[in-house]
Structure 1
């Protein structure tokens, strides 16, 4: 196997060139490729890389590395680790996620979810707020992973999904007490029935007495997703470090 960019001869088949770092599937998407008959194929005739990538390549594929990208990734991961500790460490009633600036980022998607799911009835409309704030980071993760083929950015979006679960848990935990401030200055204990999403949802489903238990489960699930995202991004960063180290060593010799 010969690299079409630097002509380095690979002894075994590889998704990328250890000499120059190009990813072959991405290269052949935008450059002509020789067919078995010696004719050039247009980029459109090449097999789309999104359809041929293995799960391992999809989750940990790295682009050509440079020290700036490596340092930038380390800074982002360090920031997310510190932020995760600040959000996961306090108890649910502290509402750490709700008091962070990310809550104001999640809130418009929450409110938009109510509007989007309104045609499906009152119950789904109330649930739509929670679905909306989970749907947006999920869409971002899917686009970043499947279209942009950027596993590191997708892992950050996965972290955002987990953070949203931590943002939802205090709201769910407040279903019976209704002490959290809601939009418009209302509180669950004084607002009209149905204004507090989870008070309405758990009452209608007969699960109101389990609000604290369900909130703990949601909080634990969100914490697990955040830690999983950190592990994914760290693995990607380690592979990028290995690629950069191998490339520098090979170029030296």
Structure 2
């Protein structure tokens, strides 16, 4: 049979959908229009049904494949463990440290950062400077949308969310350096010996009058990264638990 809400194929014996979680009996009860002389379902049952049935967003975030490959599940579990440990390292790295900027992920983010300057150049000097940081956020955001809407792979989406959180943490030391200008920049210079505008966040915060809030903004960026990484790990772990249950049902079926 197919789930009447999300279309997920499963055995007829299931009382609720393994993918979106709706209760089939309550779904049929809600969709049945009472005929002449028949009474409608009690309001309490309808209310419970409405609360049980997930919306479109829930179906996207927690979509399950038709089958779960044990090897793929094991590889994803290993990836989640690595991302969890990596995320903990980023979370507890001080903003003032250079460790984040010398990490592997900084090298991944750097090409997108530099491409952002070129992409946003037609929108003026301020947007050119801001464009590098914006592009760092746009790339994982685009991947997140594609994985959820196009490939229907929410676990890959959780990785994109993790990557977005890492980008927030990656930007925090750069923002924090807006006044001290001691961070090594691309090309080997530091901000204080470079022309005005070469250090993105010095230019952004001075032009917007927010330079005195540089450390506060850096802490907010770091905090946002922590929240996104934690949410991504919880999301990915929840999906793997659901996939494990589905895999166990497949083996017993």
Class of the TM-score when normalised by the shorter of the 2 chains: 0.7 to 0.9
Which of 55, 59, 67 matches 1:57? 59
Distance 1:70 1:166, change over 3 A: same
Separation in 1, partners of 2:183, 2:10:
64
Instruction: Give the equivalent residue in structure 2 for 1:170.
Output: 173
Residues 181-196 of structure 1 correspond to what in structure 2 (within 5 A)?
A: 181-196=184-199
Separation in 2, partners of 1:202, 1:68:
49
Where 1:184 maps in the other structure, the secondary structure is coil
Quote the offset at 1:159 in angstroms: 0.3
Instruction: Give the equivalent residue in structure 2 for 1:94.
Output: 97
CA contact (8 A) 1:86 1:96 kept: no
Instruction: Give the equivalent residue in structure 2 for 1:111.
Output: 114
CA contact (8 A) 2:117 2:132 kept: yes
Instruction: Give the equivalent residue in structure 1 for 2:24.
Output: none
Instruction: Give the equivalent residue in structure 1 for 2:75.
Output: 72
CA contact (8 A) 2:93 2:100 kept: no
1:210 pairs with 2:216: no
Separation in 1, partners of 2:243, 2:94:
36
Instruction: Give the equivalent residue in structure 1 for 2:127.
Output: 124
Instruction: Give the equivalent residue in structure 1 for 2:25.
Output: none
Quote the offset at 1:54 in angstroms: 2.3
Quote the offset at 1:14 in angstroms: 3.2
Separation in 2, partners of 1:214, 1:129:
17
CA contact (8 A) 2:18 2:246 kept: no
CA contact (8 A) 1:158 1:226 kept: yes
Distance 1:8 1:163, change over 3 A: closer
Query: Deviation digits for residues 173-213 of structure 1, max 9, x if unmatched?
Result: 00001011111111111100000000000111111111111
Separation in 1, partners of 2:231, 2:132:
25
- Which deviates more, 114-123 or 65-74? 65-74
Distance 1:196 1:70, change over 3 A: same
User: What is the TM-score with the length of structure 1 in the denominator?
Assistant: 0.79
| Unaligned runs of at least 5 residues, structure 1 | 17-52
- Which deviates more, 95-104 or 205-214? 95-104
Instruction: Give the equivalent residue in structure 2 for 1:37.
Output: none
Separation in 2, partners of 1:62, 1:7:
11
CA contact (8 A) 1:115 1:125 kept: yes
Separation in 2, partners of 1:72, 1:166:
26
Separation in 2, partners of 1:100, 1:173:
18
| Unaligned runs of at least 5 residues, structure 2 | 20-54
Query: Deviation digits for residues 195-232 of structure 1, max 9, x if unmatched?
Result: 00000001111111111111001100111101100011
Quote the offset at 1:73 in angstroms: 1.5
Distance 1:113 1:12, change over 3 A: same
CA contact (8 A) 1:97 1:163 kept: no
Separation in 2, partners of 1:176, 1:144:
39
User: What is the TM-score with the length of structure 2 in the denominator?
Assistant: 0.79
Quote the offset at 1:71 in angstroms: 1.1
Separation in 2, partners of 1:222, 1:103:
14
Instruction: Give the equivalent residue in structure 2 for 1:48.
Output: none
